[in-house]
Structure 1
């Protein structure tokens, strides 16, 4: 990694943090007519009873105010090995939906028509301890089709939260 892009991290810390493995997910909101979404990777189940999930969204993401105002979103589980879908969903917004199909999912939110499934999430709380907003959410419905989930270990670079 380019040392100029490491911020305050040493190369050793960047390498160690890059070794942490996460899934790659597509957070969707809006409607079937006007879906909105973004890729996220810092996601973890943080409680079993009740089931709770924490999602980190960088504070400079343009969608963050919309997500907080809507109070809910769908967390789409991306299919393992489908790096083309991940690349498509990472395109600029004006090109992002080319060839992407959505169906109605949990909470009536748009979810990807392909992939292992999706979880409808209602925001319970949020906090900003650093450069990411931490969203504590309660799963409120799920769609499960089955299959393996795309992980960050399938990529040749790790998100360190520096962009």
Structure 2
């Protein structure tokens, strides 16, 4: 057992994102903190996703997603999209990216991505994605995972 692991992993710097996925009218979004750049040329991002979630099914079907960067004042959005719920995209402004994946208009910026391949990672899958487009949407500073406390309930998973 690693003592205080739940506190220590919060020291690894990374942001908080809303990942938009969809196939036609079936669209969903989820909060992710485990996103990172993995290549310059081509520009690629890696996204960690729970394969038991509905969003994973949509990602596999479509092969595309968006990574929407949240601002420091958007904790409520991170919390909202982090919960399992039906119709959780309702009430928010979305537009389609070039790939067709949903973009959260309120985000600071977004990356439009096409899945290159998947890798196993314990209880999650890693989707390695090529960035096909990106844009800055709004001003602000990004929300960091360390600023979210135990919003994701991860403290219960260490033990």
Superposition TM-score, scaled by structure 2 size: 0.83
* Alignment match, 2:29: 37
Q: Which runs of 4+ in 1 moved over 6 A?
A: none
Residues 83 and 40 of structure 1: is their aligned pair in 2 closer, same or farther, counting only changes over 3 Å? same
CA contact (8 A) 2:22 2:59 kept: no
* Alignment match, 1:47: 39
The answer to whether residue 123 in structure 2 is matched with residue 147 in structure 1 is: no
The answer to whether residue 9 in structure 2 is matched with residue 17 in structure 1 is: yes
- Structure 2 Cα separation of the partners of residues 20 and 138 of structure 1: 24
CA contact (8 A) 1:106 1:143 kept: no
> Superposed, which structure 2 residues align to 1:79-118 within 5 Å?
79-94=71-86, 96-118=88-110
* Alignment match, 1:75: 67
> Superposed, which structure 2 residues align to 1:103-142 within 5 Å?
103-142=95-134
In the alignment, structure 1 segments of 5+ residues that lack a partner are 1-8
In the alignment, structure 2 segments of 5+ residues that lack a partner are none
What is the number of residues matched between the two proteins?
Answer: 155
The alpha-carbon deviation at position 29 of structure 1 amounts to 1.7
* Alignment match, 2:48: 56
